Amino acid sequence: MLAAHLLVGALLFALGLVGFVTRRNLIIIFLCTEMMFQGIILNLVAFGRYPLEGPPTFDGQVFSLFLIAVAAAEAALGLALVVLLYRHRGTLDAGAWTTLRDE
Amino acid sequence: MPILLILMLVLGAVGLFLALPGGRADLSRLGLLVLAIGAALLVAGLTQQLAGEPGQALFAGCSLVALLAALRVVTHRKPVYSALYFVLLVVAVSILLVRMQAEFVFGALLIVYAGAILVTYLFVIMLAQQARPAPYDTRSREPLWGCLAGFVLLTQVAAYVYRRPASEQAAVLPRVGGDAILNVATPLLTHYVVGLEIVGVLLLAALVGAIAIARRPAATADEGED
């Protein structure tokens, strides 16, 4: 029921988080954010299908449709930036871009 | 919160630490094995909670496939394989959505994610392909702290989810009748119509921005650097 779906969603989100902080390839980092979106979509739909009170609603599904659109926009912009950065330095290593870091 | 769940999360964190590239190179296969066992046990435990609801086997199979694919996305050393495992993850998640009567989101997820977004990812990965595995793919950054952060987050979420006894949690509800598309389209086009318009504007802005960024020649991007 609700708890099982929430836990699967949380697992996907946590795996995406771990990948986001540990992997160094820019493209894999973006893939991991998309994985977190998958967990969230699962949670939203599960909350709509198994509400704590009242009948099932479809608002969660509407929210996940918005989320898909935002993810598409993010992927388009993010990948354009990654291509630009790759042409710039010839590497996908996130560690090669530390000029904005506070030393 | 069940103690077994905590044990499985610990198992998962240790396995993930071993399996991450560069964590412990020789032990990555052992880590994957530990992760697979942990995921299977966890899914078996979760499926038991679904007792009395149809589609139990579907939930078990799809969530197991989704978790294993997600693990491979995070741990695989070759980006192309990570992207392909992500396609598998999207397919498994969308089948889980069908089980929850979200047929339209299922179609949208498959078409937009597996169809459009992942193909773009594959194009970019192939554009930036290296002859041999790059050092940034074979060594991960601080795998210990990353796994620890994920574990702490998960235990917090799990403790919150399971703070109510199972009997108080949402009951099994019957399927909602009516047309699958109409059920989603009605709130989308009435109650959330302003949001829909804003999302349209957002997509247009992202399109313009992506073209503006990608068309920028590398030479001018270098100005003001070094």
Q: Among all residues of chain A, which has the CA nearest to that of B85?
A: A31
Cβ atoms < 10 Å from Cβ of B171: 12
Write the pLDDT tens digit of every residue in A88-100: 888 888 888 777 7
Tokens for A33?
A: 């954010």
Which residues of chain A fall short of a pLDDT of 50?
A: none
Q: What ipTM did this prediction achieve?
A: 0.92
Q: What pLDDT does residue B200 have?
A: 94
CB contact under 8 A, A1 and B50: yes
Cα separation, B212 vs B226, in Å, equals 23
pTM of the complete model? 0.89
pLDDT confidence band for B168 (50 / 70 / 90): low
Q: What pLDDT does residue B166 have?
A: 61
Domains of chain A, earliest start first: 2-93 (1.10.287.3510)
CB contact under 8 A, B173 and A55: yes
pLDDT of B206 higher than 90: yes
Best mutation site among A7, A30, A64, A89 for testing chain B: the one with the most B CBs within 10 Å?
A7
- Rounded average pLDDT over B164-182: 71
Write the pLDDT tens digit of every residue in B10-19: 888 888 888 8
- Rounded average pLDDT over B151-157: 90
**Count of A–B CB contacts within 8 Å?**
264
pLDDT of B224 higher than 50: no
Q: Which of B226, B69, B196, B132 is nearest to A68 (CA)?
A: B196
Q: What pLDDT does residue B170 have?
A: 56
Among A32, A68, A84, whose Cβ lies nearest the Cβ of B74? A32
CB contact under 8 A, B121 and A45: no
Best mutation site among A5, A6, A11 for testing chain B: the one with the most B CBs within 10 Å?
A11
